[in-house]
Amino acid sequence: MTTILVLNGPNLGRLGSREPEVYGSATLDDLRAALEASVDGERTRLDFRQTDDEGELIGWLHEAADAGTPVILNPAAFTHYSYGLRDAAAMVTGAGIPLIEVHLSNPHAREVFRHTSVISAVATGVIAGLGFDSYRLALDHILRGID
């Protein structure tokens, strides 16, 4: 069985109530259910996590690097300044493990400080601005690489 980590950074636990005009009214639990419904549970397990803690997120990327686990990562606000998270993501991709950076909204259509990602240069790919479909497309890409 293949495990895929789906990691979500700060404030994503507030989906559904946080800026619904930007992020919509669906919750993180809705996202989890939608992703789990799109995989064959006998072949693929999603390990879905969210934290507001940068160190915890870095630790999870270390786990992925050590175990060879593909990652879908929404670094949220850490996208723009966390070099520690960037270095941990580089450990994943440097080991040849896919790591797809995702964003629900399009950071380039928002405030200027959101236009820069310190993660993108080390990610396998980046998908942004498509809501939950950003995650679904990342999942599809990883699954096609595994099959």
Q: Does 114 belong to an annotated binding site? A: yes
107 — pLDDT class (breaks 50, 70, 90)? confident
Note down the domain range covering 133.
Answer: 2-146
List active site positions. 23, 103
DSSP letter for 117, please: -
Q: Does 8 belong to an annotated binding site? A: no
**CATH at 57:** 3.40.50.9100
List pLDDT tens digits, range 9-53.
Answer: 999 988 787 776 766 778 999 999 999 999 998 899 999 999 999
- Model's pTM, two decimal places? 0.93
Stretch 110-138: mean pLDDT: 91
Task: Please count the structural domains in the chain.
Answer: 1
Residue 23: the pLDDT is: 65
Q: Does 141 belong to an annotated binding site? A: no
126 — pLDDT class (breaks 50, 70, 90)? very high
94 — pLDDT class (breaks 50, 70, 90)? very high
Rounded distance, CA 33 to CA 111, Å? 30
Partnered with residue 4 across adjacent β-strands are 46
Q: Does 53 belong to an annotated binding site? A: no
Does 105 have pLDDT greater than 80? yes
List pLDDT tens digits, range 50-91.
Answer: 999 999 999 999 999 999 999 999 999 999 999 999 999 999
Rounded distance, CA 108 to CA 105, Å? 9
